[in-house]
Chains A and B, each alone.
Chain A
Amino acid sequence: MTVRAVLVGLLLMLAASMPAGAQIDYQRPVDVAPTEKSIGGGYQVPVVQRRPPRSYALEIIDVGVLTAGLAATAWTLLVWRNRLATLAVSIVMLAYLGFYREGCVCPIGSIQNVAVALVDPNYSISYVVIAIFLLPLIASLFVGRVFCGGVCALGALQDLVLVRPGAVPPKLDRALGWLRYVYLVLAVILAVLPAANRDFIICRFDPFVGFFRRTGMIEILSFGAALLLLGLFIGRPYCRFLCPYGGLLALLARLTWRGVVPIPIRGQEGGLCPESCPYGAIDGIRVDQGECVSCARCYQACPREARQTRGPTLVKLTKMVGGGKR
């Protein structure tokens, strides 16, 4: 009935805009679609052009890759104590989670989904997202921010461009570090708004996802490029000053069970060189576990470390990729 009313209205509108006689008098010729039989001539209805969504199994594999990355980083960082190996893990993760998966799904953005899921009774998230949100946080309680150092594609990208690490004055460093929490609170507030006004700003202003997808808004791509340029001289500006998930990880990593520590030598006090850390995470000679992003540069710069662990340390190559002492 309503359909007919709309049809009449449509025809009236067509008639109204008609420049006399120049137009066909359109009317739908059929009420039902013809079948193969009624069409005849051996006609076969073609397959509809649809593509199935990415299979759930593959999404579970993503979680597996993330878990393996966390475990591998924990091992290269805390057991092998090797910068190159840690870097290698992070490059593999950059290739998979960054360039292959094109930046989504990621724990940083999952903050917003979790926030909405906790507040909105009608909103639910998949097991995959829950796992991706929780796994790095749990890891950080036990082995520190291994996610930042070895798994996060955004972190790996910034770690790779760091060629001439310069120091940020500690007071400024600490002050800028609060920005992460401002961003976190803002992101959560905007995410838990009623569905119509909801906005996921972490994803909207993600500076590097455009590089992974090789397309994006020019403003965001420029922001990312600017951060990478700054990142040539200042270690991981996004991670340290903006990343809301980094902020969460930092809070938990303070309580970490194991973390980056110097090799103990009996009867000697020892520490790590503050200059070897491009992220300002070595305070005096002790590592600030909250701010350590698990890059393992300090081991590489430590002469005592080199004596103790005679692993395949290719010093020249690591200098090329921005490791080592300045």
Chain B
Amino acid sequence: MELIYNTWPWYVAGPLIACVLFLLLIMGKKFGMSSNLRTLCAIGGAGQFSDFFKFDWKSSKWNLWIVFGVIVGGFIAFQFLTPQAPQIHEDAVLKLKEYGINSTNQSFLPLELFNIENLLTIKGFFIILISGFLVGFGARYAGGCTSGHAISGLSNLQLPSLIAVIGFFIGGLIMIHLIFPLIF
């Protein structure tokens, strides 16, 4: 039981994600999480504003069942499988302290960014909103996210996916090294 309650190591989680890819492929589907955002925009009527959202979204509805499952899975994990605060590398803990983030190793998400008090400040609100915006915009521009490019795309040895993943890292490194010191 301890195995279930503790943090799952990489050699358990990685192969399980590969299993998900396999199950989706043999169901004639694909593994792509960000395309649901496009589907949701289309359902919300975004087709009135751009042809990009005028597609046969009914054929993408299956993917929303996965999203629903993911949310329920998260509920089960948070309620019953006692997720602990991730214990991360000491250097990372110290760096975050410099930025005023002290909830490291104590919370699943940094309270200094995600708690409600922070959301009610202008800066805190825009950090959350803009970070989501960049993820949504970037994923569609690149034609996929971590699941579509890094997992499915690299598994299919696609050059575009490799370029996209290199981009993910360029962006991530710029953010934590150049932009974090400016905003925190």
- A and B are interacting partners: no
A residues whose Cβ falls under 8 Å from a Cβ of B? none
